[in-house]
């Protein structure tokens, strides 16, 4: 498995542990119990039990017998597992993926295993990512991740739990684009699931530059291109209404079928751009009516889009919630938080991930107003993203139409 998610290490103290069974013994006991259950229980109840087990266990059990392999490999079971396991098991969100810049041309991705306290049990650079070069890794969406190289030459979808990688075709050029114009290197992107067509999509927004004048900034709308996993192809979906300046993906978020980015128009008027995965449409959302904060980011709270804004002078953090019907509402204000430099994102239980004054990662619980250090400090100026790790049996290859 590409990601090493070892949660507990057995102590090497030279003593034999009599009371604590080994990992292999636990797996063997589970297997014996499941075989007995399968023999006595109806098929539908047995499938219900399997759907609550971890991906790692299920991959192991696929080799037990042909009937188990067929059950675990079926699309119906994969969908049931995706629903049941993450609804009934909170341990899946005990791992964070932390992405940050080491230098201008190097991005590093680290894995943090966090227990309920929380504290760091282990972390490592993920050298086994099956693409070379400095990588952006974004997600997850149902256990799938979108990956692209720093120079955006290669893109891929990746399921680390079942070790599947799908390299995406080259991005298309906008139709009728003048020959003197070409896409610039920078781009913003999003990844999500279209619940209407049951399709995974990647959306990429790119601006232009003039090959005859490298230093000129063109006042030209940003093109929107969408990749469909079902068709394994890109489609040009038009331009944004204005020549927005979108912040790079440190502020991208996916929630309730839509992707969101922070940006501005003419480098002054703040704005949020949303993209609906179901109808391939985008729109502009005004930011809250607030005093301009020193730092901000998009996040998720109560399964809804929120904007976290921190004011440098008083270290007050405001949490604004968005709804289509009511617009922005200030949910609550916390602070002062003297140890905090900027908000970074969110985690389970509506807890917020923050960056400390010296680059340390902090976890803040608005309910208890407790702040915990996650045991990781960024040696550079900011984090590119912090995400909850998620595993699934979803196959990338099975989603492509033949």
CA nearest 365: which of 389, 387, 332? 332
Q: By the 8 A CB rule, do 155 and 147 touch?
A: yes
CB count in 10 Å sphere of residue 136: 20
Is residue 247 scored above 90 in pLDDT?
no
28 has pLDDT over 70: no
Question: Domain ranges in the chain?
Answer: 25-88
Decide which of 381 and 279 is more confident.
Answer: 279
pTM of the model: 0.82
pLDDT higher than 70, residue 222: yes
The answer to whether residue 390 scores a pLDDT higher than 50 is yes
pLDDT tens by residue, 300-357: 888 899 999 998 888 889 999 998 888 899 988 888 888 888 888 888 788 899 998 8
**171-207, pLDDT tens digit by residue?**
877 777 777 777 766 678 899 999 999 999 999 988 7
In this prediction, residue 54 carries a pLDDT of 84
The pLDDT assigned to 349 comes to 80
What value does the mean pLDDT of the chain take? 78
Mean pLDDT of 165-172: 88
pLDDT level of residue 105 (50, 70, 90 thresholds): low
CA distances from 87 to 45, 303, 348, 375 (A): 17, 14, 12, 28
What is the pLDDT at residue 140?
85
Band (pLDDT 50/70/90 cuts) for residue 401 is: low
Verify cis geometry, omega within 30 degrees of 0, for the bond prior to 140. Answer: yes
Closest CA to 362 of 100, 91, 108, 114: 114
**pLDDT exceeding 90 applies to what percent of the chain?**
12
pLDDT for 63 beyond 90: no
Tell me the pairing of strands 340-346 and 223-228: unpaired
How many helices and strands in the chain, by DSSP H and E?
A: 5, 25
């Amino acid at each position: 498995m590409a990601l090493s998610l070892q949660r507990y290490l057995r102590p090497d103290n030279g003593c034999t542990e009599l009371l604590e069974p080994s990992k292999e013994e636990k797996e063997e006991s589970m297997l014996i119990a499941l075989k007995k259950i399968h023999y006595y229980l109806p098929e539908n109840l047995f499938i219900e039990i399997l759907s609550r087990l971890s991906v790692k266990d299920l991959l192991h059990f696929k080799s037990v017998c042909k009937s188990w392999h067929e059950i675990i490999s079926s699309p119906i079971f994969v969908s049931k597992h995706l629903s049941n396991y993450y609804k009934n098991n909170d341990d899946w969100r005990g791992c964070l993926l932390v992405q940050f810049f080491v230098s201008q041309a190097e991005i590093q991705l680290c894995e943090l295993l966090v227990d309920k306290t929380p504290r760091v049990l282990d972390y490592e650079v993920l050298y086994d990512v099956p693409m070379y070069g400095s990588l952006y890794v974004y997600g997850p969406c149902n256990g799938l991740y979108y990956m692209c190289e720093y120079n955006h030459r290669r893109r891929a979808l990746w399921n680390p739990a079942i070790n599947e990688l799908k390299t995406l075709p080259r991005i298309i050029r906008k139709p009728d684009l003048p020959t003197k114009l070409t896409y610039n290197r920078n781009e913003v992107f999003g990844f999500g699931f279209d619940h209407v067509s049951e399709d995974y999509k990647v959306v990429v927004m790119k601006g232009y530059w003039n090959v005859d004048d490298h230093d000129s900034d063109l006042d030209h709308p940003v093109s929107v291109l969408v990749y469909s996993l079902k068709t394994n192809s890109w489609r040009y979906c038009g331009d944004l209404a204005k020549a927005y300046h979108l912040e790079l993906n440190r502020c991208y978020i996916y929630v309730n079928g839509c992707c969101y980015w922070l940006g501005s128009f003419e480098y002054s008027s703040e704005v949020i751009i949303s993209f609906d995965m179901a109808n391939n449409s985008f729109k502009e959302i005004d930011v809250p009516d607030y005093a301009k904060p020193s730092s901000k980011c998009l996040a998720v709270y109560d399964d809804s889009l929120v904007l976290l804004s921190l004011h440098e002078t008083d270290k007050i953090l405001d949490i604004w919630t968005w709804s289509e019907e009511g617009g922005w509402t200030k949910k609550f204000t916390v602070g002062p938080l003297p140890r905090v430099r900027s908000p970074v994102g969110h985690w389970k239980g509506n807890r917020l991930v923050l960056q400390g004054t010296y680059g340390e990662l902090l976890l803040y619980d608005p309910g208890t107003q407790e702040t915990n250090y996650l045991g990781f400090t960024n040696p550079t100026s900011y984090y590119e993203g912090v995400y909850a790790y998620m595993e699934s049996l979803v196959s990338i290859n099975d989603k492509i139409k033949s």
